[in-house]
Amino acid sequence: MSDDATAEAGVDTDTATTDADAETTAAATAPADAPPTPATLLLDGPAMRQWAVDAVAQAVDDGVLSVERVVINDEVAESLDGDRLATLRRYVDTARDYGPWAVVSAYHNVLDTPDHLRWVPLDDLPWADAERVPCTPEPAESFGQVLPEDVVDDIAADTDVVLRFGFGIIKGDVLTEPKYGVLSFHHGDLRRYRGRPVGAWEFLEGADQAGVTLQRLTETLDGGAVVKLWTTDISDADTWREVERRLFAVSTGMLSAGLASLRAGEEPTTLPSDDLGALYTDPDARETARFLAKNAVGSVRGLLGR
């Protein structure tokens, strides 16, 4: 998709590299004196990743968001820092089905966890007093899951936006009942890189830029309306961790800016299916070997000061 076509589609493709940029964007578009938008968080356990905490905290500090409810998926037991052995066992089981990338992921997420991926217990967060609702999702037709009707009714009654940081692919009325719908991050530019892992394919293929997309979800996979799409330079990033760090840093201000835009009446943009990028998944054995070799060279280069 060309830059001209992007502009015509109305997609926000700002380059955001600092929190100050994000704060300026939010302040410029937020309605004056409007109360914070009441929100429900969807989580897979009683904790949040640091990057998600940063994004929500920025929106709260900017006055565009207040966390009123936290819905926790009681079918998923997310392991925290104190449960590393159980988490490693889960990754070993995953490796049997998904190959060698599970080993890379286990090391990255459990044994050498970067700051932006560490778990922060809900009890330690500013919204610790928000209502907590245990929830068992129900299978949706074909794929995904739906939230129980009573949970959706409660969400719609007193919150205007849902922020998805768990529950996988969700469908049903929860997507349309809240005023601003369900917002979710995709740490990739949907026009170029869809799927997973975060930043890995951009690093492996030597991309100069990487993007982060904030979507309002629909029942179509990767078909949500784009609220914000910001990019950042990764041309000088020597390692995957550095690419990933920059992507999560970009997302810190996006939620605040995205909510400010929605509150100002701006409509998200739906990308035509022809403009969506290739769908990536975990690297296979050969790709993982290439990745590890490139990452090792980059690590040495970084130690030597390039």
Is there a contact between 1 and 189 (Cβ–Cβ < 8 Å)?
Answer: no
Is there a contact between 33 and 266 (Cβ–Cβ < 8 Å)?
Answer: no
Mean pLDDT value across residues 152-170: 95
Task: With a cut of 80, say whether residue 121 has pLDDT above it.
Answer: yes
Predicted local confidence at residue 169, as pLDDT: 92
pLDDT tens-digit map of 62-109:
999 999 999 999 887 554 444 555 555 665 665 566 677 887 887 777
The sign of the torsion formed by the CA atoms of 214, 219, 222, 225 equals negative
pLDDT tens-digit map of 255-265:
999 999 999 99
Predicted local confidence at residue 81, as pLDDT: 46
Domain boundaries, the chain: 12-303
**Sequence-ordered list of residues with C-beta below 8 angstroms from that of 219, at least 6 positions apart, any chain:** 144, 171, 175
Chain CA centroid to CA 121, Å: 18
Mean pLDDT value across residues 146-151: 96
Predicted local confidence at residue 274, as pLDDT: 80
Task: With a cut of 50, say whether residue 9 has pLDDT above it.
Answer: no
Mean pLDDT value across residues 6-31: 46
**Portion of the chain with pLDDT greater than 90, in percent:** 61
Task: With a cut of 80, say whether residue 10 has pLDDT above it.
Answer: no
Predicted local confidence at residue 1, as pLDDT: 36
Predicted local confidence at residue 47, as pLDDT: 93
Q: Which residue has the tokens 């159980």?
A: 86
The sign of the torsion formed by the CA atoms of 196, 114, 256, 2 equals negative
Mean pLDDT value across residues 278-284: 90
pTM of the full structure: 0.85
Q: How confident is residue 270, by pLDDT bands cut at 50, 70 and 90?
A: confident
DSSP state of 200: H
3-class SS at 216?
A: strand
Query: Regarding the domain with residue range 12-303, which homologous superfamily does it belong to in the CATH classification?
Result: Formyl transferase, N-terminal domain (3.40.50.170)
Predicted local confidence at residue 86, as pLDDT: 57
Mean pLDDT value across residues 238-249: 96
Mean pLDDT value across residues 17-26: 44
**Sequence-ordered list of residues with C-beta below 8 angstroms from that of 282, at least 6 positions apart, any chain:** 98, 99, 101, 102, 105, 196, 197
Q: Which residues pair with 280 in a beta bridge?
A: 195
Distance CA 59, CA 160 (A): 14
pLDDT tens-digit map of 167-224:
999 999 999 999 999 999 999 998 898 888 999 999 999 999 999 999 999 988 777 8
Average pLDDT value over all residues in the chain:
85
